[in-house]
Structure 1
């Protein structure tokens, strides 16, 4: 009976990405040595050593001129591939995770594996905001939820709503609307949005923990620190993230108070 140390087996695989690639390739389909060497990109001597090691562990077996993964080999391959993908996601999110309200974003972080991350830089300090505006400028429909209302976003929604190019259902914090009402030109933009047939705005007095927008193709999260400063944004086409965002929007939409032109102060 084999009494291998699982950590040693993990180390065995981690020391060589080629071992993982060979296992993953054989999970897809049986292959000859030549096809394996071509698909993984290793020399025949290197492949020979890998196959001997994997065969010794009974993860791979020879079948005529082909090699096949065994049931235990598939178990290992699936697990190590999943671990590698999770670590790749963790590495990607590491610098922004502190600003993701994980108690609110109740979907597995692996759903952000393919997310586009946008962060400010010295040359593009407003990059996350610009990404948000880019997505809004490309969509026909949008669900919006936020505790703030950026001036550029306000102008864009106003222009596209009045032109009939954007249908919007937005929920905003009471403080955000009051801040807009305090400035005449912003107040006018908001009034135009509310007056248009393409937009519906509701207001909530409760805290909104994360700013989201759901467009035709992407779900966008604007990430802020405790001081309210935008530190990054995430956007993804993942359907699970989209479903979560739609549920969160509906939660606040259901308790929001519709905003009319008459409600906007002079």
Structure 2
């Protein structure tokens, strides 16, 4: 391959090369940048925000490994360098996906873990934290405002402020809504919002159904997105909202909805009686 006349240092091991790239945050971006087009040392300094001496040492290491070649005052990636840059860039993307799912993994339905890893990267994960506890609710509110249909198994997130206000307005505007939840949850929200709940239940485009054995997570189907809502088991607070437009996830969510829809029943009359609303919470 014409490399015999080039003196280069043999790496100690593949792990050694990976460790070298990972030890400083500028190295992988520098190598990726050189796969895009030739660049000068000063360009790389500006791009990676490191000193000229640091870039010089980095380029020397890259040259020793035959990842780059010098062309005048510029440097460009070799095919070897392109291969390494692509794999490392993909690896970083995979770790970024894993990190955003790490905190919600124990709340997710088992079926999600069976999807290809490439599907995970298409999930938008919004997690509550002490500084912004309502971030997942706000995310769902923004999605709810854009849909003309809503079908939701265990829809507590849709019934929380400020989402309930949006839901109320959406139903008034003709959005077709079907909610499947537990009887005690219906009792709570009917007692919390008696007037609005009564008005909603009189709308032909608003359907409320009951089911006694729902999963720990919520599954919602909107026009363009699928939503998975993760609840803290004891308090019922919304810990995370995950949404995506991946077709495979939508097909899964559709099957979940249809399964529970087939066994659900209309809301029981006693839940509609205002005298009893406060007794079953």
The normalised TM-score by structure 2 is: 0.71
Structure 1 distance, partners of 2:225, 2:110, is: 19
Query: How many angstroms does 1:210 deviate by?
Result: 2.2
Q: Please, which runs of 5 or more residues in structure 1 have no aligned partner? A: none
Aligned partner (choices 160, 178, 181) of residue 170 of structure 2: 160
Distance (Å, rounded) in 1 between the aligned partners of 2:138 and 2:11: 56
- 1:245 and 1:160 mapped to 2: Cα distance? 22
Post-superposition shift, 1:181? 5.4
User: Which residues in structure 2 correspond to 1:23-38 (within 5 Å)?
Assistant: 23-38=31-46
**1:67 counterpart = 2:72:** no
Check the 8 A contact 1:180/1:186 in 2, yes or no: no
Matched, 1:232 2:239: yes
Cα shift at 1:120: 5.0
Q: 1:22 and 1:63, CA in 2 relative to 1: closer, same or farther beyond 3 A?
A: same
Instruction: Using the TM superposition, name which of 132-141 and 58-67 deviates more.
Output: 132-141
2: distance between equivalents of 1:108 and 1:228? Answer: 32
2:101 is aligned with 1:93: yes
- Alignment correspondent of 1:248: 253
Q: Compute the RMSD of aligned alpha carbons.
A: 3.7
Q: Superposition pairs for residues 62-141 of structure 1, below 5 Å?
A: 62-104=70-112, 106-108=114-116, 111-112=120-121, 115-119=124-128, 121=130, 127-141=135-149
Which residue is 1:220 aligned to?
Answer: 227
1:19 and 2:47 are equivalent in the alignment: no
Contact 2:126 2:241 in 1 (8 A): yes
Distance 2:61 2:81 in 1: 12
| TM-score scaled by length of structure 1 | 0.74
**Distance in 2 (alpha carbons) for counterparts of 1:234 and 1:87:** 20
Note if contact 1:26-1:68 (Cα within 8 Å) is conserved in structure 2: yes
1:140-219 equivalent positions in 2, closer than 5 A: 140-146=148-154, 148=156, 150=159, 152=161, 156-164=166-174, 166-168=175-177, 170-173=178-181, 176-177=182-183, 179-180=185-186, 192-193=199-200, 195-200=202-207, 204=211, 206-216=213-223, 218-219=225-226
| C-alpha separation in 2, matches of 1:106 and 1:188 | 43
User: Residue 124 and residue 48 in structure 1: after superposition, are their counterparts in 2 closer, same or farther (change >3 A)?
Assistant: closer
In structure 2, C-alpha distance between the alignment counterparts of 1:227 and 1:21, rounded to whole Å = 44
Change (3 A) 1:60 1:105: same
Aligned partners of 1:129 and 1:43: how far apart in 2?
A: 44
The range that moved more, 96-105 or 179-188, is 179-188
Q: By how many angstroms is 1:195 displaced?
A: 4.5
Tell me the SS of whatever aligns to 2:220.
strand
Cα pair distance change 1:60/1:14, threshold 3 Å: same
- Mapped partners of 2:65, 2:18: distance in 1: 13
The count of residues paired between Structure 1 and Structure 2 equals 258
Shift of 1:178: 5.8
1:113 is displaced (CA, Å) by 7.0
